[in-house]
Amino acid sequence: MDYILFIATLVAIYSILTITMNILVGYIGILYLAHPAVYGVGAYTFAILAKGGTNYFLALLAAGAVATILGLIIAMPTLKLKSHYIGMSTLGFLIICHGLFINLKGITRGALGIPGIPRPTIFGETLNTNLSFFIFTIIITTVIGIILHRILHSPFSKTMEIIREDETAAKTLGKNIIKYKLQAFMITSFFGGIGGGLLASLLGYISPTNFNIDELVLILTMVIIGGMASFWGSIVGATIIILIPEALKFLDIAPALIGPLRYGIYGMLIILFMIYKPNGILGRRTNVFSK
Amino acid sequence: MTNILEIQGISKTFGGVHAVEQCSFSVKKNSITGLIGPNGAGKTTMFNLISGLLKSTEGSIHFKDQDITNFTAYKRARRGLARSYQAIRVFPEMTALDNIVVAFGNNKEGLFQAFTPFRRHQRRLECKAMKLLELVGLEEKAHLKAYELSYGQKKLLEILRAKANNAELILLDEPTAGINPTLIKKITTLIRQFQKEGHTILIVEHNMPFIMDLCETIIVMDRGHNIAEGKPKDIQSNKEVLEAYLGKSHA
Ligand SMILES: Nc1ncnc2c1ncn2[C@@H]1O[C@H](COP(=O)(O)OP(=O)(O)O)[C@@H](O)[C@H]1O
Ligand SMILES: [Mg+2]
């Protein structure tokens, strides 16, 4: 039961990470591959501040703010580049940031990672049980979910989608493309950074391996099989992908094989969905990978 | 009558190709003006220069008495300039209705407006968009995705979208190309109605009966230059124009 609550909390947090990635990739159509770097910076910011005694909620907000700064830096070259070059440039940022997580030992403790990241304390009670932290996370992720749902079902979101569909036509209809792209990056990185902070708090320990290319594969699989430009699809995608390794545990497979098998399955899922169901489970047909 | 658009000595070169060279002309407010010329004359390039998708190598563009030469495309659109494309550019995954709704200038599309009540305003815009679709009998297609429409219906949709964009000057690049005569009639009626409502229309076309019937003034381009300008009947008998279309030996 306790373990199920842990997994449910993980699903809630990854839903936020997936929706925020979907905003850039699915809605506005930017081949953004740096998300683990962005929520990773959020996770580290939160971990360091919360361990240092900063108020839990302030530390979460700071995680969002610092991630937003990184998000805007990553955004800059994408404004000038086209599709696959954007993929290369954002992937470059992921690799650089991962390198910094390893090498800035004075801040991140390098490969040793940061242990003992606290859980919140509310009315003098520290939420150390999985049940109490689950309830806490559900409340916060629901609030974020409501905000994102509102944004993604508004005229703002329709304008993001026409920019994905045809940037030139959107421009000659008077849409300020740069403003929309920067705002999309801000939403993605701010709420992604908070998601990273919650993840750090759930795990209690983070290290650079939490924010590498494997993580990108994980989130990208969630976005693609859930569906591009779909709020609910992202939640479905995150749920399925989190549950796959849990399901593997019930099969009679050597534990050493489960790790590689997991990523093999994610890769297969991406390929199968790309070929047979490019819209994902609930998403839209888009041109993001083909333009 | 005053001019809504004034092009002065504008040029555009691509590498060594002089697509538009020292072109000057003006468009009268509330007129229907034609821009014709053989293939490769530089008409589409001229539209790209006017709408701001391309930057001119020299010359200036004035729109509503303001120098817009250095304005980006979206700023020109906001000043009241809209266009359709020779190669269709509808938003394929949006419904026909949404293709028009997103074009209305005031549709509460700001990020923070997402947290204000926008639904009623959206309904109103949807009604306005529906009225536009009704003008050309597309109301039953309103909820189809744009990619599901026929070629001609997509072209109509693009024209309506330009109109919805609150445009004072509408640029139409070959609106009748590849379209059946029934739809061409609809387009003619539509353009006349836009003029009655105060819009100015500049049309690039190869369909001579269509353009001669519709336009008050016709500008002729050939190999990047504007070589003639006048009333349709004068253009039809202009020696340089005939040369441009038929080659020197025939004229
Ligand atoms: N983006 C471009 N790059 C290079 N050459 C171009 C480009 N666009 C147009 N041209 C050239 O400019 C000339 C004018 O083209 P265009 O404006 O499309 O003519 P029209 O619309 O009158 O048929 C042609 O010779 C064309 O090949
Ligand atoms: Mg052309």
Which ipTM did the prediction report?
A: 0.92
Mean pLDDT of B89-104: 95
At residue B251, the pLDDT reads: 43
Task: Classify B4 as helix, strand or coil.
Answer: strand
Reported as a single tens digit per residue, the pLDDT across A40-61 is 999 999 999 999 999 999 999 9
Reported as a single tens digit per residue, the pLDDT across A61-109 is 999 999 999 999 999 999 988 878 999 999 999 999 999 999 999 999 9
Mean pLDDT of B29-48: 94
What is the percent of chain B with per-residue pLDDT over 70, rounded to a whole number?
97
Contacts of A172 in chain B (CB under 8 A): 51-53, 73-74, 76-77, 82-83
Q: How many angstroms separate the CA atoms of B133 and B148, rounded? A: 15
Q: Do B73 and A171 touch (CB under 8 A)?
A: yes
pLDDT-derived band at B248 (thresholds 50, 70, 90) equals: low
Q: How many angstroms separate the CA atoms of B122 and B120, rounded? A: 5
Reported as a single tens digit per residue, the pLDDT across A242-262 is 998 888 877 777 778 877 888
Both tokens of A75, joined, read 């955004």
Give the pairing of strands B32-36 and A125-126: unpaired
Q: What are φ and ψ of residue B207, in 5° steps?
A: -80, 95
**How many other CB atoms are found less than 10 A from the CB of residue B80?**
19
**Residue to mutate (ligand 1; options B11, B12, B13, B17; most atoms within 8 A of CB):** B17
- CB-CB: which of A150, A165, A171 is closest to B114? A150
Residues framing ligand 1 (Cβ under 6 A): B 14, 17, 19, 37, 39-45
pLDDT-derived band at B28 (thresholds 50, 70, 90) equals: very high
First-to-final CA distance of chain A: 46
- Looking at every residue in chain A, the average pLDDT score rounds to 93
Reported as a single tens digit per residue, the pLDDT across B199-243 is 999 999 998 889 999 999 999 999 998 888 888 888 888 777 777
**Does any CB of chain B come closer than 8 Å to the CB of residue A167?**
no
Using the mean position of ligand 1's atoms as its centre, give its distance from the Cα of residue B23 in Å: 15
Secondary structure E strands in A123-204: 125-126
- CB-CB: which of A158, A165, A174 is closest to B78? A174
Candidates B159, B243, B157; CA nearest to B202 is B159
Mapped to the 3 state alphabet, what secondary structure does B159-179 carry? Answer: HHHHHHCCCCEEEEECCCCCC
Q: How many angstroms separate the CA atoms of B71 and B51, rounded? A: 9
Q: Is the pTM of this model over 0.95?
A: no
How buried is B143 (Cβ within 10 angstroms: 0-12 exposed, 13-18 middle, 19+ buried)?
A: exposed
Give the gap in angstroms from C-alpha A33 to the nearest C-alpha of chain B: 23
Give the gap in angstroms from C-alpha A40 to the nearest C-alpha of chain B: 25
Residue ID of nearest Cα to ligand 1 atom 18:
B44
Candidates A200, A215, A189; CA nearest to A49 is A200
H/E element, B43:
helix B43-51
Chain B, residues 88-147, CB within 8 A of chain A, namely: 89-94, 98, 101-103, 105, 107-111, 113-115, 118, 122
pLDDT-derived band at B67 (thresholds 50, 70, 90) equals: very high
Q: How many angstroms separate the CA atoms of B218 and B233, rounded? A: 10
Using the mean position of ligand 2's atoms as its centre, give its distance from the Cα of residue B171 in Å: 12
Atom of ligand 1 nearest to the CA of B42: 17
Residue ID of nearest Cα to ligand 1 atom 25:
B40
Which region among A107-121, A161-175, A209-223, A237-251 has the lowest average model confidence (pLDDT)? A237-251
Which of A165, A172, A182 has the highest number of chain B CBs within 10 A, making it the mutation to test binding with B?
A: A172
Reported as a single tens digit per residue, the pLDDT across A111-157 is 999 999 999 988 878 888 888 999 999 999 999 999 999 999 999 99
Which of A160, A173, A190 has the highest number of chain B CBs within 10 A, making it the mutation to test binding with B?
A: A173
Mapped to the 3 state alphabet, what secondary structure does A255-289 carry? Answer: HHHHHHHHHHHHHHHHHHHHHHCCCCCCCCCCCCC
Q: How many angstroms separate the CA atoms of B229 and B234, rounded? A: 9
- CB-CB: which of A150, A158, A165 is closest to B109? A158
Ramachandran bin of B222, using left for φ above 0, alpha for ψ from -120 to 50, beta for the remaining angles = beta
Task: Classify B199 as helix, strand or coil.
Answer: coil
Which of B83, B91, B95 has the highest number of chain A CBs within 10 A, making it the mutation to test binding with A?
A: B91
At residue A157, the pLDDT reads: 96
Residues B196/B123, Cβ–Cβ less than 8 Å:
no
Alpha helices per DSSP H over B67-180: 73-80, 96-101, 119-135, 151-164
Secondary structure E strands in chain A: 121-122, 125-126
> CA B221: distance to chain centroid?
17
Mean pLDDT of B92-107: 93
Reported as a single tens digit per residue, the pLDDT across A18-44 is 999 999 999 999 999 999 999 999 999
Reported as a single tens digit per residue, the pLDDT across B69-82 is 999 999 999 999 99
- Looking at every residue in chain B, the average pLDDT score rounds to 91
- CB-CB: which of B72, B94, B113 is closest to A161? B94
Q: Do A157 and B115 touch (CB under 8 A)?
A: no
> CA A91: distance to chain centroid?
14
pLDDT exceeds cutoff 90 at A221: yes
Residues B11/B22, Cβ–Cβ less than 8 Å:
yes
Using the mean position of ligand 1's atoms as its centre, give its distance from the Cα of residue B39 in Å: 9
Mean pLDDT of B150-157: 93
Q: How many angstroms separate the CA atoms of A98 and A211, rounded? A: 7
